[in-house]
Amino acid sequence: MKTLIHRSPARGSNAGQKVSFRIRARTLAVCLALAALLIALAFFSLAAGRFDTGMADVFNALSGQAAGKTRMIVLEWRLPRTLLVALLGAALGLGGAIFQSLTRNPLGSPDIIGFAAGSHTGALVVLLLFSGGYYATAFGALGGGIVTAALVYVLAGTTGQQGFRLIVVGIGISAMLSAFNAWMIRKADLEMAMGAAFWAAGSLNGLGFEQLRPAVMLFCLLCLPLAALARPMRQMELGDDVALASGVAQRRTRGLLMLLGVALTALATATAGPISFIALCAPQIARRLVGASGVGLFTPALTGAVLLVLADTAAQHAFGRQLPVGIMTISVGGLYLLWLLIREGRR
């Protein structure tokens, strides 16, 4: 079942130090299946739409053989959106995986430590008090979310029972902000409030290359330090004492990981509005697919991308009218989690 892959370091580096990866066959199979599913879904989302293009057209367009309208629709309209959706899904899956690992709790997610509520507050303030546009709202959401998450982190303190405390403080601050949000929506006039509610539902409509480029750059920038922190993260999952014994600089690592998790979630929120549940759901689904308690980071990222592409395709095409994707993620993600729970119960 398990394969052990040893890789010797380049000659001349620290003698005798071996880097070893242990990859379970099932993990590998799951990742490959997820990747295949993601590609299939992406092709479907490139082909589907009001201007019906066949799979053959999509292939032609991608290989540069299509011309005119087909090319424009597939490459310029649909491709950036599909890529962006997959990217944001991966970012959310990563954010969730980081937080569930840090809090050692299946309910730990950036949403729970107050990021979602904070970014909603930020966006509402910009939308309702200053009637800001797309970028101003994105900025407000980013600011609100990051300030809230930082506040929660500081308030949770730095000694003992970190994960537990972080979640409790996060729930407290979130609840406070949600009440404030509900009140702001009640005070605003109906049209403005509806607009804010649409933003809050998370929508990917109208996003293109303009948003894709900075998103890709930021995503890559965030993944580099994350790759370096993946190993200490796994060690901290084993408990504070184990991490201490294996020499992990816990305080710094935790702070950095938290920052990365928030930044990854912020990336998605700023681009598309709050897309809930992917961060909470993807690591859980990945864990069940892989059949192990620690899933690392890659599988949750892939799972998140698959989920978001699926949800976005459904939100666009399944109901005759375009619904905000956040509503879909919440429903699809919730149903899937329910199905998993029921299936687990039958076994």
Partner 1 sequence: MPLALAVLGLLFVALSIASLRLGARPVAFSTLRDAFLHYDPGMTDHIVVRQYRLPRTILCLLCGAAFGTAGALIQASTRNPLADPGILGVNAGAAFAVILAVGVLSFGSITAYVWFALAGAAMAGLLVYMIGASAGGATPARLLLSGVAISAVLGGIGSSVTLLDPQAFDSLRHWQVGTVAGRNLAVAATVAPFIVAGLLLALIAAPALNTAALGDDTARALGLNLSRLRIIVIVSVTLLAGAATAATGPISFIGLMMPYAARWIAGSDQRKVIPLTMLCSVNLLLAADIAGRFLIYPDELDAGIVVAFLGAPVLVMLARSARTKAL
User: Following CA atoms 101, 95, 281, 347 in sequence, which dihedral angle do they give, to the nearest 10 degrees?
Assistant: -30
Structure tokens at 72: 């424009």
User: Which value, in Å, is the radius of gyration of the alpha carbons in the chain?
Assistant: 21
In the complex, least distance from residue 65 CB atom to partner 1, rounded to whole angstroms: 40
Backbone angles phi, psi at 2, to 5 degrees: -105, 135
Whose Cβ is closer to partner 1: residue 60's or residue 331's?
Answer: 331
Minimum separation from the CB atom of position 99 to partner 1 (A): 14
Query: What is the rounded distance in angstroms from the CA atom of residue 49 to the CA atom of residue 224?
Result: 36
Cα–Cα distance measured from residue 90 to residue 35, given in angstroms and rounded to the nearest whole number: 12
**At its nearest, how many Å lie between partner 1 and the CB of residue 226?**
26
Residue 64 backbone class (left: φ over 0; alpha: ψ -120 to 50; beta: rest) = left
Q: Parallel, antiparallel, or unpaired for β 2-7 and 19-24? A: antiparallel
CB of 258 to partner 1, least distance (A): 17
Q: Which is nearer to partner 1, 48 or 155 (CB)?
A: 155
Please give the Cα distance from 280 to 38 (Å, whole number). Answer: 19
Nearest distance in Å: CB 213, partner 1: 30
Shortest separation between residue 308's beta carbon and partner 1, angstroms: 14
For partner 1, which is the closer residue by CB, 152 or 243?
Answer: 152
Taking the complex as a whole, the smallest distance from the CB of residue 112 to partner 1 amounts, in Å, to 9
Are the C-beta atoms of residues 84 and 215 closer than 8 Å to each other?
Answer: yes
Judged by the rule CB under 8 A, the positions of this chain that interact with partner 1 are: 106-107, 155-157, 161, 164-165, 167-169, 171-173, 175-176, 178-180, 182-183, 185-186, 190, 193-194, 197-198, 201, 276-277, 280, 284, 323-324, 326-331, 333-335, 337-338, 341-342, 344-346
**With respect to partner 1, which residue has the nearer C-beta, 42 or 268?**
268
* Identity of the residue, 62 or 192, whose beta carbon is nearer to partner 1 in the bound complex: 192
Q: Which amino acid is at 325?
A: V
Q: How far is the CB of 89 from partner 1 (least distance, A)?
A: 16
Nearer to partner 1, 207 or 332 (CB): 332
> Toward partner 1, which CB reaches closer, 31 or 332?
332
Residue 123 vs 260, nearer CB to partner 1: 123
